[in-house]
Structure 1
Amino acid sequence: MTPSYLDYLSSADLPVPQDRPFGVAEARDCLGGWRGVRAAVAAGLVTQPLRGVYAVSTLRDDLARRLAVVRMVAPPDAVVCDRTAAWLHGAPMALAPGSHLATPTPQLYLPPGRRLRNGLVESGARELLRRDVVEMDGLLVTSPLRTACDLGRLLHRDQALAALDSMLRSATVTREQLVAEVERFRCQGPVGTAQWRS
């Protein structure tokens, strides 16, 4: 029999992992199928921080949780970028407007010749310098400065200003650093060649 969210008083009563995010198959198995998963999400007992990933609503939203969530959908050689990178860098206001109303899609870039087409992520190619990428607990992520530059040049003006403001408030990048990078991206289109440069 499929469990109903009415059977549970809180997230702690659900038969799912309480200390880590979990994937689609585990959510379905623990909650008795898709009906149970949808009921738990609708009741606010389970959240879906990224497409394909679930967590109990009581799991603390900190950097460790965010990294664990992204790690579940990112291949080892992928570089997390754009709004997803900003989220990891502590700038949640860089997420898309209304993102709290829908499940965000992680944004990743892969080495030349590869692109994910699994429906769980947005994937593409981009030219990155070595200094544009940092490692966060095993995940490759665009640096705060590169993330801010990409958000500033790729988003609609209103969203770009909000994203840049959020990055500046996170104290991971400074106004002076942003101004110093303007010349580098002055003539670049939205997406460059997919390669690494020293």
Structure 2
Amino acid sequence: MLPAELPIYWNGLPFRAHQVGRKLQWLLARGEIRQLIAGLYVDVRVPDTVELRADALRLVVPPNATVCGRAAAWLHGIDTTALSPEPFRPEWTFAERQAVEVHGLRVATPAATAIELAKHLPRPFALSAVDGLLHGGMPMSDLTTASAAYFGADSTSQAAQLLRIADGRAESPGESWLRLRLFDARFPRPELQVPVEGNGRTYRLDLGYPDLPVDGRRLGLEYDSDQRHSSTKQQLKDETRRTELDALGWHIISIRRTDLWGSYPALELAVGAFLCQQPRLPRRW
């Protein structure tokens, strides 16, 4: 790691790429620093907090500007994975916006941010961003009130459709993307965080259809992230859990990131086969 006399690189403050010049790639390769968003970095040992994110944005956002778009969602606490496949650049505006103050920065409100992202981001990231804002505490009533100024009740626009299926119970971007796959395939709307009682404990499924039994069995879907479900120990634990749920009458389909991206419709075909429904194909993303 970095020398002991510099326990936190530049006292833990975020910095811009040009401030380290040629050392940037060397520091990244050694795992000394991490990228916050495009062009902004920090020592890997500095915890990710809203205050840190505000400090980073202050390096690039002009005075009196309003942080908006993905940068606003990030400052409201949304993980970058939910916003973009790649590090994104900070966004701000001098136009009039509904705004709040976050650690000294003027930031578009969560509801205004949600609507903006629903309108402009690619559909998977638009949904995971709005879900993330709801999960972080934005009231659904705020989103409903704000959206009324943009969309009619019968609007078929991308944003209006995504706001109708947004749900703060989603606990990860992968769960949001999985739900969008089911929506696009025209399957029934699943329940989220489904409790299953048995074996003296309560299991919780990411998504499921508790009210649509087929031959006495029910369908559950779980998103297994690479980060948390790749070790041999965790995979054995997951397999044991699925066996226990199978004995309780639940058929579990385990979904990995590679199942959610690309043109092959294995996920839709597996769900359709169990529910005895023909999915809409081809996949839309």
TM-score, normalised with respect to structure 2: 0.48
Q: What corresponds to 1:157 in structure 2?
A: 123
The residue correspondences of 1:13-162 to structure 2 (distance < 5 A) are 13=4, 16-28=9-21, 34=22, 36-92=23-79, 93-96=81-84, 98-99=85-86, 103-111=87-95, 128=97, 132-162=98-128
Sort the Cα spacing of 1:154 and 1:18 in 2 relative to 1 into closer, same or farther, 3 A. Answer: same
Counterpart of 2:26, as a letter, is A
Sort the Cα spacing of 1:95 and 1:159 in 2 relative to 1 into closer, same or farther, 3 A. Answer: closer
The percent identity for this pair of structures is 29
Q: Deviation of residue 134 (structure 1)?
A: 1.1
Q: Deviation of residue 13 (structure 1)?
A: 4.5
Q: Deviation of residue 85 (structure 1)?
A: 0.6
Work out the CA distance in 1 between the residues paired with 2:71 and 2:92: 8
Work out the CA distance in 2 between the residues paired with 1:53 and 1:155: 22
Work out the CA distance in 2 between the residues paired with 1:157 and 1:23: 30
Q: Deviation of residue 182 (structure 1)?
A: 2.3
Sort the Cα spacing of 1:37 and 1:156 in 2 relative to 1 into closer, same or farther, 3 A. Answer: closer
In structure 2, the gaps of 5 or more residues are 158-285
Corresponding residue SS for 1:70: helix
Q: Deviation of residue 12 (structure 1)?
A: 5.5
Post-superposition Cα deviations, 1:97-143, rounded to whole Å, max 9, x if no partner, equal x23xxx321111124xxxxxxxxxxxxxxx52xxx111122211101
Q: Deviation of residue 44 (structure 1)?
A: 1.6
Work out the CA distance in 2 between the residues paired with 1:12 and 1:82: 38
Work out the CA distance in 1 between the residues paired with 2:18 and 2:125: 35
Q: Deviation of residue 90 (structure 1)?
A: 1.1
Alpha-carbon RMSD across the aligned residues, in angstroms, is 2.3
Sort the Cα spacing of 1:14 and 1:74 in 2 relative to 1 into closer, same or farther, 3 A. Answer: farther
Work out the CA distance in 1 between the residues paired with 2:123 and 2:48: 29
- Asked if the contact 2:64/2:94 (under 8 Å) is kept, the reply is yes
Q: Deviation of residue 53 (structure 1)?
A: 2.4
- Asked if the contact 1:85/1:141 (under 8 Å) is kept, the reply is yes
Q: Deviation of residue 183 (structure 1)?
A: 2.0
- Asked if the contact 1:94/1:164 (under 8 Å) is kept, the reply is no
In structure 1, the gaps of 5 or more residues are 1-9, 29-33, 112-126, 190-198
TM-score, normalised with respect to structure 1: 0.67
Counterpart of 2:55, as a letter, is A
Say which structure is richer in strand. 2
- Asked if the contact 2:39/2:89 (under 8 Å) is kept, the reply is no
Worse-superposed segment, 158-167 or 66-75: 158-167
Work out the CA distance in 2 between the residues paired with 1:12 and 1:76: 35
Who wins on radius of gyration, i.e. which is larger? 2
Higher RCO (Cα < 8 Å, 6 or more apart):
1
Sort the Cα spacing of 1:177 and 1:74 in 2 relative to 1 into closer, same or farther, 3 A. Answer: same
Counterpart of 2:109, as a letter, is S
Sort the Cα spacing of 1:95 and 1:25 in 2 relative to 1 into closer, same or farther, 3 A. Answer: same
The question of 1:182 aligning with 2:147 is answered yes
- Asked if the contact 1:11/1:57 (under 8 Å) is kept, the reply is no
Sort the Cα spacing of 1:80 and 1:178 in 2 relative to 1 into closer, same or farther, 3 A. Answer: same
Sort the Cα spacing of 1:21 and 1:178 in 2 relative to 1 into closer, same or farther, 3 A. Answer: same
Counterpart of 1:59, as a letter, is V
